[in-house]
């Protein structure tokens, strides 16, 4: 068995060829993601999010924010109560945690494994975060977990975040906070 075959088996990849579909799990645009992340961040930091707060956070007009939120409400990702306070729906919250997980995985992979400059890794992970399917995110997490394990450290792979502390990718998703990467300790 080659090293690639062994690694593929460890992270759950299959040799089967599959038809590539050019869509991803949630079909969110980069812009939509930033609105969802702003709501998530505001709810965590202030306990509430309003159009005015989102506009201020993102440096946009209230009109632009209102237009974007209409689309997110139609997609049932954002909920607005009778007092005009905004929150993420269950689906919106799950999308945000998946996106934040993708961003964190990409950031540490680019910075620590590939050796990309930290600022470039930040920008690139932000651009790619919403494009990753849940299947790829799970396989990528399994790969990063293996990279952080004791056996593979002998191969000079390392990352400044220890993904091996999590049993499953879902556990990793659940601890995402704010709108940035988890910090290494």
Q: What is the pLDDT of residue 156?
A: 59
Q: What is the pLDDT of residue 151?
A: 65
What does each C-alpha distance from 165 to 56, 121, 142, 168 come to in angstroms?
A: 37, 23, 12, 9
pTM above 0.85, yes or no: no
Q: d(Cα 129, Cα 146) in Å, to the nearest integer?
A: 21
* Positions of CATH 1.10.60 in the chain: 98-174
Question: For the domain 30-88, what is the CATH code?
Answer: 1.10.10.10
Beta carbons of 108 and 122 less than 8 angstroms apart:
no
Angstrom distance (rounded) from CA 136 to CA 112: 19
User: Class of 98-174 per CATH?
Assistant: mainly alpha
Q: Which segments of the chain belong to CATH 1.10.10.10?
A: 30-88
**Rounded mean pLDDT for each run of 10 residues along the chain, 185 residues in total:** 49 46 62 95 96 96 96 96 96 95 95 94 94 92 83 64 86 82 71
């Amino acid at each position: 068995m080659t090293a690639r075959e062994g690694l593929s088996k460890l992270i759950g990849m299959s040799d089967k060829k599959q038809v590539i579909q050019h869509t991803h799990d949630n079909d969110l645009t980069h812009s939509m993601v930033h609105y969802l992340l702003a709501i998530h961040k505001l709810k965590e930091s202030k306990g509430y999010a309003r159009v005015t707060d989102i506009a201020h956070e993102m440096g946009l007009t209230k009109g632009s924010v209102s237009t974007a939120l209409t689309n997110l409400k139609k997609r049932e990702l954002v909920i607005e109560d009778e007092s005009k306070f905004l929150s993420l729906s269950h689906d919106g919250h799950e999308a945000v945690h998946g996106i934040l997980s993708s961003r964190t995985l990409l950031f540490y992979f680019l910075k620590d494994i590939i050796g990309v400059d930290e600022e470039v890794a930040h920008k690139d992970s932000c651009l790619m975060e919403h494009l990753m399917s849940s299947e790829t995110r799970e396989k990528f997490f399994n790969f990063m977990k293996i990279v952080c394990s004791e056996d593979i450290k002998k191969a000079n792979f390392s990352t400044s975040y220890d993904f091996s502390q999590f049993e499953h990718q879902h556990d990793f998703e659940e601890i995402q906070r704010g709108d940035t990467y988890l910090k290494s300790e």
